[in-house]
Amino acid sequence: MSEIHLPAPSIQLLPDLLISQIAAGEVVERPASVLKELLENALDAGSSTIQIQLEEGGVKLIRISDDGCGIAKDELALALTRHATSKITSLDDLERVSTLGFRGEALASVAAVARLTLTSRQAQANHAWRLLGENQATPEPAALALGTVIEMRDLYYNTPARRKFLKSEGTEFAHCAEAVKRIALAYPHVAFTLSHNGRVSLHLAKSDSRTRAGAILGDDFLVESRAIDTGDGPLRVFGQCALPTHSSARNDAQYFYVNGRFVRDKLLSHALRQAYQDMLHGSRYPAYCLFLEIDPASVDVNVHPAKTEVRFRDSRAVHQFVFHAVQRTLSSPLNAGAEAPPTHFLTSAQASSEDSRPNYSQWTARQASLRSSEPVVASYLAFAKSANSTSTQSKYQPLPETLADDEVPPLGYALAQLQGIYILAQNTQGMVIIDMHAAHERILYEKLKTALDSHQVATQTLLIPSVFAADALDVEAAEEHAEALKDLGFDLAPMGPKQLAVRAVPALLQAADPAEMVRTLLAELREHGLSQLMTVRRNELLATMACHGAVRARRLLSVPEMNALLRQMEDTERADQCNHGRPTWTQLSMSELDRLFLRGK
C-alpha cells in the first residue's frame, strides 16, 4: 500500500483578534479572573473607594467604579492595546515590580472576549470620556465625577465554546466574592462595596488590618488568633495566625500576601504547615492572614499567568524566616513577658478596649518568688506520690488575698476538679477550664523533646522491674536496639525467649505503665525501623510516650497539684493544644457567665 504524502502546511501570522483571544485564555478563566484584574488596576490608580456591581455571577455584567487618578482622553484607546502600560518602562522596572498589574494585557484580553466600555475622568479634565472597546472608536464625552468606570458585558459572547464551561450563577458569584475578599484583606484603607443582581452582599468601610480581617474572616478568627509582626533585615512578616483550635477541614481560610499580592505559593504553604505541625492534626488546616514584605528585586512575580505564584531569589531563607516567625508566635508560653493576656483570652468587646486588659508586668516580675512559695511546684508535678492521699485534698481555695488583680497568673488559681477530668480555675477574666490530661501531655511532650535534643534524658530505675510477656520479635527488637532505647531512657532486659523486663524508664514518665509503654515503643520500632523512628517519626514517638505518661482521667489531684499543673502550662511552649491538636483549656469571661444566667436583664 503506497503512502500518502500531504503537503506541508504553510506558516502564517494569526489575525490580531485571534491572538488576543488566545492570550485572553491565560488571563480570563472565569468572571472572577476579570474582576481580579480590574480591581488591581483600580488599586494601582490610587483609589480609596471601589464599587463593584455584578449580574448573573459576573457573566452578564461586571462594573467597577473607582475614584482613582483616571485615564487621559488620548490614552483610552492605548489602554485597550496589548502590552500597553504605565507601570514599567524598562527591564529594571520589571525586576522591581511594586504594582499589582504591570503587563498591560488585562484590558486587551477582556476586550477580546467581552463587550468592554471604559469611562474615565482625570482631576484636571473638564469632563469624562467614554470609549467602547468593541470597535475602539473615537472617545465621546460622558458624565463622571472623578476616576474610572470599567464595564464588562456578556463574557465569552464571541467564543461560545468557552462559555459553556462556566459554572452556575451561584458558583461564579462565589468565586467573584472570594476575589474581592482576597484583595480587600490586603488593602484595608480602601472601602469596597459588592452588589449582585441589584442587592448589596458585601460592604467594607475603610479600617485597619485587624478590623478588616475580622470583617471578612469573622470575630472568632480574631479572638482565637495571635498577632505576629517580625522583621529581619529586608524581610518582615505580620498579620494574624489562628490557633490550632480554629482549624478546619478545608484550606479556605488561608490568606498569604507577598508585597500586597495574594499568592498560593508551595514554598510558603510548606513553611506554614511545618510551623503548625506540632500542634495540629494531620487532616486539619490552619487559618491565617499573613503579609510578607520583601525587596521587590528579590522576588519574581511574573512566573504565573494569574500572578498567584512567585519565585524567590533565596527561597530557603524566606522559608526559614516565615517558618521560625510563625512557630515562635504560636509556641510562645502564656507567661512570655506579656503586658497583656494572649488574644484568645479576650472577648470581642474586651479586645477592642485597652482599659479592659489586665497588666501582667508586675506578676511577671514576681513570678519566681510566687512559685517558690509552692513546694509542689518547685519539685515538679508530684502526681505519683500525692494522688493516693485524699486527706490533703481541698474542695475550694480562693485567689490569694495578698495579690492584686494584675498579679494573678494568666491561668489563675485552681478551685476544684470536675468529674476527675477538668480543672476549674479562677483568673481576672472569670473561669478557666483545663483538660488536665491534655495539658499534662503537652508538658511532658515538650520536656521529652528538650531532653532528647540535649541528650540529657534522665532515667528512673524501677525498684521492682516490670516483667511482661512478649513475642520473639519484640525480644529480638529490644536486644537489637538496646542502645537507642537507652538514649530514650529505657533499660530493657530479656528474661527468657518470650519475656522482657523493664528495669528503667524516663524519669518524666515514671508514673506510666512501663509494660504498656514499652509494648507500644517496640511495635513502632518493628513497623518503621530505627532510622525513620528517630528522624521522621521522632516527634510522633515522643507524643505517644507523653500520652502514656500523662496523668489519667478520674485521678484525684490536690489543689497544690492542680496549681502546679497550671504553672507548668504557663511555662510550656504550645501549651494551648495537646499533642493531637485538641485545646488544653478555655476561658469563660464574667460577661459570658452573666449572659448564661441573664444577669443584668
User: From residue 319, how far is each of 242, 274, 288, 537 by CA, in Å?
Assistant: 19, 10, 16, 22
Q: Which of 63-67, 213-217, 570-574 shows the lowest per-residue confidence on average (mean pLDDT)?
A: 570-574
The answer for residues whose C-beta is within 8 angstroms of residue 213's C-beta and 6 or more apart is 185, 221, 222, 239, 240, 289
The single residue listed with the C-alpha cell 486539619 is: 284
CA distance 522 to 493: 13
| 370 compared with 546, residue with greater pLDDT | 546
In terms of average pLDDT, the best of 78-87, 122-131, 304-313 is 122-131
Give the gyration radius of the chain's Cα atoms: 31
pLDDT at 370: 40
Q: What is the mean pLDDT of residues 302-322?
A: 86
65 pLDDT band, cuts 50/70/90, is very high
- Percent of the chain predicted with pLDDT > 90: 35
399-428 residue pLDDT tens: 555 555 567 888 999 999 998 899 999 998
pLDDT at 390: 35
CA distance 351 to 341: 10
| Structural domains of the chain, with CATH | 16-206 (3.30.565.10), 210-331 (3.30.230.10), 334-601 (3.30.1540.20)
Q: What is the mean pLDDT of residues 594-600?
A: 88
C-alpha cell at 89: 518602562
Strand, helix or coil for residue 120: strand
476-498 residue pLDDT tens: 888 888 888 888 889 998 888 88
356 pLDDT band, cuts 50/70/90, is very low
Strand partners for 96: none
243 pLDDT band, cuts 50/70/90, is confident
C-alpha cell at 472: 520473639
Strand, helix or coil for residue 6: coil
Q: Is the pLDDT of residue 125 over 50?
A: yes
The three state secondary structure string of 526-584 is HHHCHHHHHCCCHHHHHHHHHHHHCCCCCCCCCHHHHHHHHHHHHHCCCCCECCCCCEC
Question: What is the rounded average pLDDT for all residues in the chain?
Answer: 81
CA distance 151 to 142: 14
Strand partners for 255: 289
Region of 430 (left: φ > 0; alpha: ψ -120 to 50; beta: rest) is left
CA distance 599 to 448: 46
142-191 residue pLDDT tens: 999 899 999 999 998 888 878 888 899 999 999 999 999 999 999 999 99
Q: Is the pLDDT of residue 224 over 80?
A: yes
106-121 residue pLDDT tens: 888 888 888 999 999 9
Q: What is the mean pLDDT of residues 199-206?
A: 96
pLDDT at 24: 61
Q: Is the pLDDT of residue 389 over 60?
A: no
48 pLDDT band, cuts 50/70/90, is very high
pLDDT at 326: 94
369 pLDDT band, cuts 50/70/90, is very low
353 pLDDT band, cuts 50/70/90, is very low
- Percent of the chain predicted with pLDDT > 70: 82
pLDDT at 238: 95
In the chain, the N- to C-terminal Cα span, in Å, equals 97
Q: Is the pLDDT of residue 233 over 90?
A: no
CA distance 305 to 531: 43
Q: What is the mean pLDDT of residues 2-20?
A: 69
pLDDT at 23: 62
Q: What is the mean pLDDT of residues 362-370?
A: 42
pLDDT at 523: 85
Q: Is the pLDDT of residue 373 over 70?
A: no
Strand, helix or coil for residue 435: strand
C-alpha cell at 453: 535534643
pLDDT at 179: 95
CA distance 342 to 360: 11
State the amino acid at position 436 in one-letter form.
M
CA distance 269 to 439: 28
Contact 150, 63 (CB under 8 A): yes
| 83 compared with 496, residue with greater pLDDT | 496
pLDDT at 210: 92
